[in-house]
Amino acid sequence: MVGDEHVSMIPAAHTKVWNSEVNGQPQEVLAPSNAVLLDVLRDKVGCLGVKRGCDMGTCGCCAVMVDGQPRLSCLTMAQDVQGSTITTVEGLADGAHLAPIQQCFAEHGGSQCGFCTPGFLISSQALLDKNPNPTDAEISTAIEGNLCRCTGYQQIIQSIQAAAEIHRGDASPAKPASSAHSDPHPSGPN
Amino acid sequence: MTDGYVQQPGSNTDVRVDGKRVAGKIKFNPPGSGGSRPEMADRDMDFIPEVEGGNESQPAGQHLHDKYRTGTSVGKRTPLVDGNAKVTGQAWYGDDVRLPNEIIGRIVRSPHHYAKVKSIDTSKAEALPGVLAVSTGADAPQRFGVLPVTKDEHAMAVEKVRHVGDLVACVAAIDEPTAREAAALIEVEYEVLDAVHDPKKGLLDVDDPIHWRGQYHIGSTNVQKRVFQEFGDRSKLEQARATHHGKWKFMGVNHGFTEPHAVVAHWDSNGRLQLYTPQQVPHYAHRALATVLDVPMHQVNVIRTFVGGGFGGKSDPFPHEMCAAILARKAGRPVRITFDREEVFWVNRGRHPSHIEVQMFADEDARISGFEIDALIDGGGFASFGHVTSYYNGVLATAPYELGSFHYTGARVWTNKPASGAMRGHGAVNTRCAIEVGMDDLAEKLQVDPIDLRLANLLPPHSKTITGFRITSNGMRQALERVREGSQWDSKFRKLPLGKGIGIGCGFFISGSGLPIHWDPNKFPHATVHIQIDMDGGVTVHTGAADIGQGSTTAIAQVVAEVLALPLEMIHVRSHESDTSPVDLGSYSSRVTFMNANAAISAALEIREQLVDAASGILDMPAEYLILNDRRIYSKRDPAIGVSYLEALHKSQEDKGALIASGAYRTPPMGGVHKGAAAGLAPAYSFSAYVAEVDVDVETGLIKCTDVWAAHDCGKALNPLAVEGQIIGSCHMGLGQVLSEQMVYGRTGHLQNPNLLDYKIPSVHEMPNVTPIIIESCDPEGPFGAKEAGEGPLLPILPAVVNAVYDAIGIRINDLPLTPDKVWAAIAKKMKREDIAEAQDLPTPRLDFSELQQKIVQRSSQHGGRDSRRQRSEDTDPYINGVLFGFDPTVPPEDQDGDWKIAVRPTSEQLEGLGLAGSAWTKIEQRKMEDGK
Ligand code: FES
Ligand code: FES
């Protein structure tokens, strides 16, 4: 029996109604008053595209847009953003049409294992919303809080540049995915 | 479009007025259209080899698979076939599997480095409302481990805990707070034992070794595995013109994948276990689960979720997978366990912390007369892949250079740390760094250019290394030449001002291991692929290959698309479930693309034959006249005569229904007969050369790598986009190890940085500008000539950076990572020693060529001609390591030189002079002690 002597490690939080608009849909869920946004989005709203990589603000996998600003949902108390408009990776596409940023990440190697991708998409979409004409350095600053262990970032930057081009209405997305001197037809050992 | 089938989405790049992309549609010819349709795509001649009538030139010789090239997919920059799932958030990783009625599991971990578990009291936890199951080691006494020879793990501690974070018990409860609380209520009584933290102490006899291997135990030490190898003639080493001696310390590093481990276990209504886990190697997990849970393998279905990065860190069968299954069985409900980031560090399996000592010798002709390597590696609490790592630290240094002799002593010790294991570049990375820096130093002492020194000492294509590895294709020479040119090496090396430096490093890695871990004595294939096509024309490919982000699913789809000349959208790869996938050994040792694509090609060829037969029946034309292209089979001579793919398919389905084919791949027999000859054997090897440029701030010791030219010989880039991604990603990971990443164990042996804040993975700002250069040497054994590209590219970046730092400030630091404090301390030491007041006055190394330079340039240009003839199979004479030293390539080396030796254990005279790791050989195995020896 757990007697009276048992002191709970985590003081039980009372449950509260949490409502916000997530990806264009009003949501009303019951969540502990001390829940972080990441847990509410994943466990209550069902946005499993929002990823948990560290739970302490070091990886950026959990980034979501809150009222247009990118935020780390693992460091955001759900109650603090009560009543806001939230966009997760699931909300970027327009129906069956991928957003340019999504299409470009898929096409230009911006995503390998893909676990960091939702966070990167949010950070870069937030950048492009503000600045459709970013330099590589501005892109780097925008994604500096996102960790990617697979790609080495280079193809991510290229993906974002390609998406920026589409955003600018530059209707020729067919540019080489890499500025690198790759060489599918080497001249031979001689 | 008015008629035909429509399918979407495709990769159409049309853009709507509002900037949104239009989902692509691919056009299909209706059955029976016969081929007059104008929209049929032209054959893409740029991707079809000249021998088959296309334009692609083949400098590296022809390939067996050339005649099946249709210009459809192979060699084209191809986005990952699962890319859309990843960018829409639909990709399901371990923690995204949510089953109805699930409960949450939590693991109780050891707070001690090393202790006996005296008792565990679970009663309080069990009594907590909401707790549904509690389990301890007593529930699962069976041992497991990834290698059958070293099964030393339990689901939970059975007798002892071996490192902080080792599993002791586990609980499952209705939600996470309850589970955490219950975990805290489990009371464990420990008797703390003397822990070993320093691997050097692991070599000593102790009262209570971390594991006990019975009669095979080495003394009463903590040595898990020791290796001795000696090849060649060491008597000439004394006359060396230049020698290098390097004593290295490498810190442990972690894979740092973004997805923490997670597992969901569910016993279905038939009592079968359904286990969802992000595994690189689901098959070994499958085996271990069956053993530990004591159920037959066919009662377990391992479902590989998407894997959020592996790099070797998700390739062991893990105790938490067993725990989830045990809890789920007890509770009768699905159990999900997800790790905190900290727990990822407790499981670890990262790169071994190592002490490596190398001595290298070059003779009067600037030939490499010997490598002597001693590697003591810190295995942590369990064996994991360590048996193999112990060999790899030595044997993967035997190429790309031709050696006069090779001497290796290695030892892996258990310590009370989280276990080390396999990590990208398994076992090869640290030694490679040490010897490539040694090559730089030898070049300096011989007063020659380090690239020329390498070029003059390369093994040619189609040769044998000193330990008997069979080298097939070899693009090392091209890689060196291309990075030299790309980086403008000759105008920079030893010419840059203080603080700026340029350096070179090479790499050599296996492309699949020759001997599978679990497979003998049966001659099972290493990889099997099934293909099924039903009347709808879609191609379902079943494979067990685990895509961990490297793009193996895409590569397999590509080769099938290529052979069958179908658009990629028609190929559906099913690879997640062990129920439906043929057994595959998993994603490790860079085997997946090589072996699975080979298996897929052979299955696709079977299907192709049936389709062509059917077409030849319909058209009444010999099969040899027919070619495949864009969903159509037609005559080479008159493209108007042909049938559509569907028509041929339906014809060949007559009387039997769906077309089904199975293809398999197995490595050819290879290798020598000495003990350990199998370690490092591979059907092909990759080669790479990188040049790195760095800026070193001499006032602070901060290093910034600015540019990297990265040439990698992957045989044939099936998907250049993915190969470049692998090269750049490898640079990133290697750069982390050389500049910032380290697992810091404090004075008490406690891991101080088990989180991503203190464990410093390079961010976007630390990344240099990487120029990937793909070298295609067309491997005869590889699928369409391909070899690995996932691990080999990591190796050269470490030495390239270390060498560049020397070029910049004239100081070699043999202690990775090169953090600013270490670099600054080295600068300060040098200033003091040489009485330099200002860091800005440090001398930088300069190079005056000796007479040898001209000699080796001449030699390498001769070898260049030899190599290209061999590569194109114009010269097929045998070549063994040693020819450079005057050997007859047709006679085994031991028969042509009296002083040539092959030994796998030291003689008693040698025992004295062995290095740190070598000293493990001074201990006697238990069984020999009993004999009274
Ligand atoms: S989970 Fe939020 S930053 Fe890592
Ligand atoms: S794609 Fe794997 S972490 Fe970024």
Task: Tell me what percent of the residues of chain B surpass a pLDDT of 90.
Answer: 84
Q: Is residue A140 over pLDDT 50?
A: yes
In which band, very low, low, confident or very high, does the pLDDT at B61 lie, cut at 50, 70 and 90?
Answer: confident
B775 contacts A186? CB cut-off 8 A: yes
Nearest alpha carbon to residue B395 among B456, B340, B465, B329: B465
Is B11 within a domain?
Answer: no
Helix runs in A29-72, H state only:
37-39
Last residue of a domain, one of B347, B372, B396: B347
pLDDT at residue B639, rounded to an integer: 85
Give the number of the ligand closest to the Cα of residue A118: 2
pLDDT in tens, B225-281: 999 999 999 988 999 999 999 999 999 999 999 999 999 999 999 999 999 999 999
Is B14 within a domain?
Answer: no
Number of neighbouring beta carbons within 10 Å of residue B204 = 16
A111 vs B83, B341, B477: nearest CB: B83
- Give the pair of three-digit tokens for residue A49: 């595209």
Give the number of the ligand closest to the Cα of residue A61: 1
pTM: 0.93
Is B614 within a domain?
Answer: yes
Number of neighbouring beta carbons within 10 Å of residue B500 = 18
- Give the pair of three-digit tokens for residue B364: 């009067």
Residue in A with minimal Cα distance to B130: A2
CA B127 to chain CA mean position, Å: 46
B89 vs A118, A171, A184: nearest CB: A118
CA B197 to chain CA mean position, Å: 28
Is B849 within a domain?
Answer: no
Give the number of the ligand closest to the Cα of residue B308: 2
Concatenating the DSSP letter of every residue in B581-595 gives SPPB--S-TT-HHHH
Q: Is residue B207 over pLDDT 80?
A: yes
pLDDT at residue B40, rounded to an integer: 61
Q: Which of B124, B311, B764 to mutate to test the interface with A (most CBs of A within 10 A)?
A: B764
Measure A29 CA to ligand 1 centroid, in angstroms: 22
CB B273 within 8 A of CB B267: yes
CATH number of the domain bearing residue B553:
3.30.365.10
On average, the pLDDT of chain A sits at: 87
Rg (CA), chain A: 20
Domains and CATH numbers, chain A: 15-88 (3.10.20.30), 100-168 (1.10.150.120)
Which residues of chain B does A100 touch, with a Cβ-Cβ cutoff of 8 Å? 19-21
Is B586 within a domain?
Answer: yes
Residue B788, min C-alpha distance to chain A (Å): 16
Q: Quote the CA–CA distance of A151 and A146 in Å, as a whole number.
A: 12
Beta bridge partners, B337, equal B263
Q: Quick check: helix, strand or coil at residue B577?
A: strand
Residue in B with minimal Cα distance to A112: B549
Q: Quote the CA–CA distance of B728 and B773 in Å, as a whole number.
A: 10
User: Which amino acid appears at position B251 of this protein?
Assistant: M
pLDDT at residue B520, rounded to an integer: 58
CATH number of the domain bearing residue B109:
3.90.1170.50
Measure B772 CA to ligand 2 centroid, in angstroms: 19
pLDDT at residue A176, rounded to an integer: 40
A174 vs B13, B90, B730: nearest CB: B13
pLDDT mean over B795-800? 98
Q: Which atom of ligand 1 is nearest to the CA of A75?
A: 2
pLDDT at residue B931, rounded to an integer: 58
Q: Is residue B339 over pLDDT 90?
A: yes
The DSSP call for residue A10 is S
Q: Quote the CA–CA distance of B773 and B484 in Å, as a whole number.
A: 12
Ligand 1 pocket at CB < 6 A: A 52-55, 57-62, 72, 74
Task: Tell me what percent of the residues of chain B surpass a pLDDT of 70.
Answer: 95
- Give the pair of three-digit tokens for residue A179: 């500025």
Q: Is residue A183 over pLDDT 90?
A: no
Q: Quick check: helix, strand or coil at residue B177?
A: helix
pLDDT in tens, B469-480: 999 999 999 999
Residue in B with minimal Cα distance to A152: B729
A171 contacts B773? CB cut-off 8 A: no
Which residues of chain A does B868 touch, with a Cβ-Cβ cutoff of 8 Å? 188-190
Helix, strand, coil abundance in chain B, percent, nearest 5: 30, 20, 45
In which band, very low, low, confident or very high, does the pLDDT at B574 lie, cut at 50, 70 and 90?
Answer: very high
Measure B601 CA to ligand 1 centroid, in angstroms: 41
Write out the H or E segment, with its range, that includes residue B346.
helix B341-347
CB A180 within 8 A of CB B771: yes
Measure A127 CA to ligand 1 centroid, in angstroms: 19
Give exposure, B56-74, as e/b (b: 16+ Cβ within 10 Å): bebbbbbbebbebbbbbbb
Is B608 within a domain?
Answer: yes
Q: Quote the CA–CA distance of B449 and B454 in Å, as a whole number.
A: 9
Is B78 within a domain?
Answer: no
The yes/no answer to whether this complex scores an ipTM above 0.95 is no
What residues of chain A, 53 to 72, have a C-beta less than 8 Å from chain B? 53-56, 58-59, 61
Last residue of a domain, one of B626, B644, B665: B665
Q: Which of A149, A161, A185 to mutate to test the interface with B (most CBs of B within 10 A)?
A: A149
pLDDT at residue B535, rounded to an integer: 92
Domain that holds residue B114: 94-193+273-308+314-347
A113 vs B548, B761, B763: nearest CB: B548
pLDDT at residue A7, rounded to an integer: 63
Which residues of chain B does A121 touch, with a Cβ-Cβ cutoff of 8 Å? 87
A181 contacts B87? CB cut-off 8 A: no
Flag the least confident range among B108-122, B404-418, B800-814, B903-917: B903-917
pLDDT at residue B66, rounded to an integer: 93
The sign of the torsion formed by the CA atoms of B643, B646, B650, B656 equals positive
Measure A52 CA to ligand 1 centroid, in angstroms: 6
Given CB atoms, is A48 within the 8 Å cutoff of chain B?
yes
pLDDT at residue B178, rounded to an integer: 94
Given CB atoms, is A140 within the 8 Å cutoff of chain B?
yes
- Indicate left, alpha or beta for B71 from its phi (over 0: left) and psi (-120 to 50: alpha): left
Give CA separation, B263 vs B100, B129, B802, B884, in Å. 15, 24, 40, 54
The answer, yes or no, to whether any atom of ligand 2 lies below 6 A from the CB of A113, is: yes
A48 contacts B59? CB cut-off 8 A: no
A/B interface, count of CB pairs below 8 Å:
265
Q: Quote the CA–CA distance of B799 and B694 in Å, as a whole number.
A: 12
pLDDT in tens, B725-779: 999 999 999 999 999 999 999 988 999 999 999 999 999 999 999 999 999 999 9
CB B634 within 8 A of CB B623: no
Last residue of a domain, one of B643, B665, B687: B665
Q: Quote the CA–CA distance of B430 and B356 in Å, as a whole number.
A: 8
Q: Quick check: helix, strand or coil at residue A119?
A: helix
* Structural domains of chain B, count: 2
User: Which amino acid appears at position B172 of this protein?
Assistant: A
Is B297 within a domain?
Answer: yes
pLDDT in tens, A96-129: 889 999 999 999 999 999 999 999 999 999 999 9
pLDDT in tens, B87-145: 999 999 999 999 999 999 999 999 999 999 999 999 999 999 999 999 999 999 999 99
